[in-house]
Amino acid sequence: MGFEKLGLSKKVLEGITAAGYENPTPIQEQAVPIIINGKDVIGASQTGTGKTAAFALPILHKLEEHGNLRCLILEPVRELASQVLDNLETLGKGTNLKSLLIHGGVGYGKQIDGIKSGVDILIATPGRLLDLMDKGIVRLDKIEILVLDEVDRMLDMGFLPDVRKIVTKIPRRRQTLFFSATMPSAIESLAKWALNEPEEVEIGQRQGVAETISHAFYPVASGQREDLLLKLLKQTNFKSVMIFTRTKKDADTLANHIKKQEPDYSITVMHSDIRQKDRQEALAGFKDGKFDVIIATDLAARGIDISNVSHVINYQVPENAEDYVHRIGRTGRANREGDAFTLLSADELDHATSVEKFIGQKIEKRKIEGFNYNYTTLLDEDAPTPEKLAKVFRGRKRGGSRRRRR
Ligand code: AMP
């Protein structure tokens, strides 16, 4: 089914052509008509499914012509907010609607000038928006459509109280669109409070991962992590690779190690200690192919739209299984093939099991030919698995107590 059947205006269809989209994704097919109809929506959809356009298209359709500030889109992080702006600008090419980005970490001047010049759509992170509301610069009394995006991420970042404060300043007669990949109780109660008889849009499993991604664990003794990663990079025919580390320090150390050992790779690093301007440069450079490797912490994992990532490598197994899904969401986007590799050491087995449970599949363990492995039980096929060890241990405990009773 093409986009024409979704009931979008000619001007919006022009934007879709400019973006190069041929057919709507499932979430767009479901959500666009509901939103055009004026209903509230609660959507569970991973990034990478075309979620942004699913709300951006009907918003552009409904706002039609330049006028007042009528739409607010709240995003948890600036990178995500700036991506939503890019999407709106491309898809809105055929309209005269104006969108503006508001986030912290930069000066106020341009943002204030932007608001004063008149905008229709504001894309904002909660902190700076509240700040500008307190200063009397932004008023939300004409908002007709409110989008709360990546609400689970807002919860993680402690933004829910700010979100509530913002929502109370928006007229109750509005349309609210609410997106969250997971729905813990705090989010459910926020949804009940903010939404009015919403229609649910759920694409696939809430915790699902794109089917086009293939997963593999690479077992390694923890002292050999850096070397195995280099070997893995060398043997992989990658176009662009995103490596995730658990800490900022790991990201910096690993980047230096790779630069020293393999000066031919062009590498950039992205984490929260890096200035906003440099982070934007890193992201832009990675997107346009100036860098072929980006090393990032989870800050960069959520929602960032880098659609050409051929490989995601987890330098460690993420402690939080949900982070695995968000990290690997950088590859296999919009039905492209992708690979997700994860280095695994013996002390991370519990996390590995949680990841497998979370995504509902067993992940294959692979060895790299010709790598000089130090021994780890993970590589030893005859070695007892943790499950077997646990059984033996439980058996021994039972035996021991029987003896004592006698
Ligand atoms: P999102 O889930 O919004 O982060 O979108 C993921 C990627 O899919 C982005 O690069 C979008 O530009 C792209 N995309 C969104 N909708 C479509 C579509 N209908 N056809 C092709 N690509 C799309």
90: exposed, middle or buried (C-beta count within 10 Å: 0-12, 13-18, 19+)?
Answer: middle
Cα 176 to the center of its chain, rounded Å: 21
Mean pLDDT to the nearest integer, 213-232: 91
- Specify whether 32 is located in the same domain as 144: yes
Q: What is the CA(305)–ligand 1 centre distance, in A?
A: 9
Q: Are residues 268 and 359 in the same domain?
A: yes
Question: Could you identify the atom of ligand 1 that is nearest to the CA of residue 334?
Answer: 8
263 lies in the same domain as 385: yes
CA of 53 to the centre of ligand 1 (A): 7
Torsion of CA 126, 129, 134, 138, to 10 degrees: -150
Name the residue with the closest Cα to ligand 1, atom 20.
Answer: 21
The pLDDT tens digits for 145-172 are: 999 999 988 887 889 999 999 999 999 9
Q: Answer whether residue 404 shows pLDDT above 90.
A: no
Nearest CA, atom 14, ligand 1:
50
Residue 321 CA to ligand 1 center (angstroms) comes to: 24
The mean per-residue pLDDT over the stretch 76-80 comes to 87
pLDDT value for 401: 41
pLDDT at 125 over 90: yes
Give residue ranges with CB within 6 A of ligand 1: 21, 23-25, 28, 47-53, 305, 307, 333-334
The answer to whether residues 392 and 321 belong to one domain is yes
Q: Give 20 Cα–ligand 1 centroid separation in angstroms.
A: 10
Closest ligand 1 atom, residue 45 Cα: 2
The chain-wide mean pLDDT, for the chain, equals 86
Distance 28 CA to ligand 1 centre (A): 10
CATH code at position 358 = 3.40.50.300
Q: First vs last Cα of the chain: how many Å apart? A: 75
* 199 and 242 within one domain: no
Domain match, 82 and 151 both: yes
State the pLDDT at residue 105.
87
What's the mean pLDDT in 260-276? 87
Q: What is the whole-number distance in angstroms between the Cα of residue 50 and the centre of ligand 1?
A: 4
Number of domains in the chain: 2
Nearest protein CA to atom 10 of ligand 1, as residue: 307
**Chosen domain end from 158, 181, 203:** 203
CA of 367: how far to CAs of 216, 227, 261, 343, 344, in Å?
Answer: 10, 13, 22, 11, 11
Q: Are residues 335 and 234 in the same domain?
A: yes
Confidence of residue 183 (pLDDT cuts 50, 70, 90): confident
Range of the domain at 158: 3-203
